[in-house]
Structure 1
Amino acid sequence: MNFTNFPRKQFLQGATPLEAMPNLSKALGGRVNLYIKRDDLLPGAAGGNKTRKLEFSFGEALSLGADTIITCGAVQSNHARLTASWAAKENLECHLILEERVKGSYKPNASGNNLLFHLLGVKSIRVVPGGSNMMAEMEKTAEDLKKQGKKPYIVPGGASNPVGALGYVASVSEILQQLNSMQLKIDSYVVPSGSAGTHAGTVVGMFGENGNIPVIGINVSRPKDVQEDIVYNLANATAKLLNLKTELPKGNIECFADYFAPGYSLPNDGMVEAVKLFSKHEAILLDPVYSGKAAAGLIDLVRKGHFKEGSSILFLHTGGSPVLYAYLDSLL
C-alpha cells in the first residue's frame, strides 16, 4: 500500500525482530510454536508500539506547523511516555492530561512511566477523574495554549485515530517480508486490543496486503462486543483514509475479553503468571497493563487447545516494561 500521501516523521530504524520462543512453547506443552514480534524494541524512551503510530501523528503535526503536542492516557500511560519522548526529540512542548481510571491510583512521586514523564521534560501534567471526556479536556488545554500564542496539536489517546492507525497498517508489510525471508508460515497473530489503533491498523494491513493471517485481539479494558465495534469502526475509517475499494468484513475482527478483569490496569493472576513465564523462559519483559494481560490470553488459549496442534502463533509485544516498576507489590 502507498503511504506517500501522508506526512510521516521517520522514527523507525528498520524492522523490529521477529523471534521464536522455543522455551515458552515447550513450557506450555509443546502443542504450538510461539513467535514474538518485538515492538517493545522500537525507538523512543524505553520503546513500545506507539512509536509506529506517532510517525504519522507527528508527521501531520509538523506539517501543520505545530510547536506543542497535547495527549492523554492513564496515569502510567506508555503512549504518554512515547509522545513525550518524541516531543523532546523534536523540540516540541508536551502537555499531558492523565485520567485516573482507578480512583487514588495517581501518585505524583510514583516510579514507572510517571518518573519518565518528568525526566522527558513534560511541560504540564493535569490529572482528571476516571470517565472524563478526554478529548474535551485536551481541547480545553489547547484553547489555553492558543491564548499564549502556541500552536498545539492534539494526539488522541493511544494515537488511535485513522492517522495513527496507519502505523500498524504499514507494519504488516514489514512482518510479511520477515515471514517470507524466514520461510515461516504463521497461522494466527495475537495482539493487545485497547485504544484499538494497533488492532484496527493491523487488521486493515492484513486485509489490504492479502496477508491471510487471522488477527486476534486480547482486550485489556472492555467487553467483547464493545471492543469489536470500536475496532471495526476505526478499521473502516482507516481503510477509507487509504481509499481501499473493498469493504472490510466484520468477521475479520475477533476479540477475547476474559483476561482484563477486575478492570483496566488492575493486576490479576493470569497477568502475573504471564509476566513471570515470559521473563523466566525467554528473558522478555512484558508490562502489567497491555502486553501482560494479552500474553495471559495467549497462554490460556494455548492451554485450552484453541489453536490447532502444530500451528505457529505470532504474538505482538507492544512494550511498556517501565510500568513494571509501579507494580512491585503484585509481582514480588
Structure 2
Amino acid sequence: MYNLPPALADVLTLPSPLESMTLDGSLARIWCKRDDLIHPIISGNKWRKLSQTITALGHRRVTQDSVHLISFGGGHSNHLHALAYTCFVLGYEFTAIVRGHYTGNETPCLQDLAAWSSHIIYTDKSQYKRYTDPSHPEHQASIQALQTSHPNAIILPEGGYSVDALAGSAMCMTEIATQLPQAYDQYSAVPQKVLVVSPVATGATLAGLVAAKYCDVLGIAVLKGQGYLEDNVSELLCDEHYDRDNTWWINHDYVTRGYAKSSPVLDGFITSWNAANPTLLVESCYSGKALWGLSELVKSGHLKHYTDIVFLHTGGLQATRNLSTNSIDKK
C-alpha cells in the first residue's frame, strides 16, 4: 500500500491510528486521526506532502550521490525540518534556502538541519520572494538560475505545496475510509454521514483530502486568508481534474489575531484540553486552533447532521518547540 523505502518503512507508523475522542455537546461520534504519531520528526501532514516524491526517489535506480533535494522555508520551518531529516535518513543531499539570516543565532530547527548535514543558504526577503512567489515577474528566471547552479537537483516548492502533495493526503483519507468502518465493530451501526476536519495553512492538505472523494471536508483556517485559501484549494483540485462529489469549505472564524498568534480564549481551551488529554496534546498554531474551532462548531449545532466527525491531527513539532518565540513558519 505504501511501498516505502526500507530505511523509512522501519520507522514510520502507517497507517496512523484512528482513535475515539470526546467533545462536549456532540451528537456525533468524534474521532481523531493521529497523523502526529507517524514519526516524532517526520510528523503529520509534512510526511503526507512529501510522501509521493520521497517514495518515488527511494525506488528508482540511482548512482551514488545522485539525489539532491532543494527546498525553501523560514528559520522554524516544519517543512524544512521534516525534509532535512528524511534526506539524512535516506542518505540524500539536501539544501535548505532559508528566509532571513540566522548566523550566530540559529534556531533549534536550523541547529538540527546542520546536525543532519544539510547545506543552509540564507537569503533576504526580496530574493526569497523571487524563489517562492509564482506571481513574481522574476520567479521563473530565479528558479531556472538555481536549477542551472544545481543541474541534478530536484527543487521542491516552499512548504511542499504542489499537486504532488495531494497524493499523501488522499492516502490519509483512504486510511480513514478503511479504519472507520472497522472501528464500528463495537457499535450496532455504520457511519452514514462523515465529516473530516483539518487545520488549513496553505490548502495542500485540504485539497488532497477533498480529492479522495470519500466524504465532506471542513478546513479551519489558522491564518488570515479568506478567499486566497479557497483559491489555492480550487487551483490544486483543478490541476487534478477533480469533479466535485462531496462538499468542502473553509471556516475563518477561529484565526484569532493571525498566524501563530493566540488569544486568552484559545489559550484557555488548549490548557484545559491538554490537562484532560495528556496523550493527545495540541498547540496554538495548528492543531489547537483547529480543535478549538471544531469544538465551538459542535457546541453551536452547526455540524449536527453528521453521524461521524474525524479530526485530523497534523502534528507540528516546530510549533511546539518554538511557542515562546511567537515566530513559527507554516512552511
Q: Cα 1:155–1:29, aligned 2, differ >3 Å: closer, same or farther?
A: same
Matched, 1:109 2:116: no
Deviation at residue 151 of structure 1 after TM alignment: 1.8
Partners of 2:61 and 2:220 in 1: how far apart? 35
Cα offsets for 1:298-327 (capped at 9, x unmatched): 122123222218843210000013422311
Whether contact under 8 Å (2:28, 2:309) holds in the other structure is yes
Partners of 1:29 and 1:9 in 2: how far apart? 44
Query: Counterpart in 2 of 1:197?
Result: 204
Deviation at residue 60 of structure 1 after TM alignment: 4.4
Stretch deviating more after TM superposition (305-314 or 161-170): 305-314
5 Å-filtered alignment, 1:291-310, equals 291-308=287-304
5 Å-filtered alignment, 1:1-332, equals 9=5, 11=8, 12-22=12-22, 25=23, 28-29=24-25, 31-43=27-39, 45=41, 47-61=43-57, 63=60, 67-99=67-99, 108-111=105-108, 113-129=109-125, 132-135=129-132, 140=142, 143-144=145-146, 146-147=148-149, 151-183=152-184, 185=191, 187-205=194-212, 207=213, 211=214, 213-238=215-240, 240=241, 247-248=243-244, 252-283=247-278, 284-308=280-304, 311-328=307-324
Structure 1 SS opposite 2:44? coil
Q: Cα 1:311–1:248, aligned 2, differ >3 Å: closer, same or farther?
A: closer
Q: Which runs of 5+ in 2 are unaligned?
A: 134-138, 185-189, 327-331
Paired residues in the alignment total 305
Whether contact under 8 Å (1:287, 1:322) holds in the other structure is no
Partners of 1:80 and 1:158 in 2: how far apart? 8
Whether contact under 8 Å (1:41, 1:47) holds in the other structure is yes
Could you tell me which amino acid in structure 1 is paired with residue 293 of structure 2? G
Q: Which runs of 5+ in 1 are unaligned?
A: none
Cα offsets for 1:172-215 (capped at 9, x unmatched): 2211110121126263210111222210000011x1xxx2x210
Partners of 2:41 and 2:53 in 1: how far apart? 17
Identity among equivalent positions (%) equals 24
Q: Cα 1:133–1:53, aligned 2, differ >3 Å: closer, same or farther?
A: same
Deviation at residue 139 of structure 1 after TM alignment: 7.7
Could you tell me which amino acid in structure 1 is paired with residue 106 of structure 2? N
TM-score (norm 1): 0.78
Deviation at residue 329 of structure 1 after TM alignment: 7.1
Partners of 2:34 and 2:67 in 1: how far apart? 31
RMSD: 3.4
Partners of 1:108 and 1:295 in 2: how far apart? 33
Could you tell me which amino acid in structure 1 is paired with residue 173 of structure 2? V
Partners of 1:261 and 1:138 in 2: how far apart? 35
Deviation at residue 93 of structure 1 after TM alignment: 1.9
Partners of 2:72 and 2:244 in 1: how far apart? 29
Deviation at residue 69 of structure 1 after TM alignment: 1.1
Whether contact under 8 Å (1:39, 1:319) holds in the other structure is yes
Could you tell me which amino acid in structure 1 is paired with residue 14 of structure 2? G
Partners of 2:287 and 2:244 in 1: how far apart? 26
Partners of 2:79 and 2:207 in 1: how far apart? 17
Could you tell me which amino acid in structure 2 is paired with residue 188 of structure 1? L
Q: Cα 1:94–1:289, aligned 2, differ >3 Å: closer, same or farther?
A: farther
Whether contact under 8 Å (2:217, 2:247) holds in the other structure is yes
Partners of 1:181 and 1:86 in 2: how far apart? 32
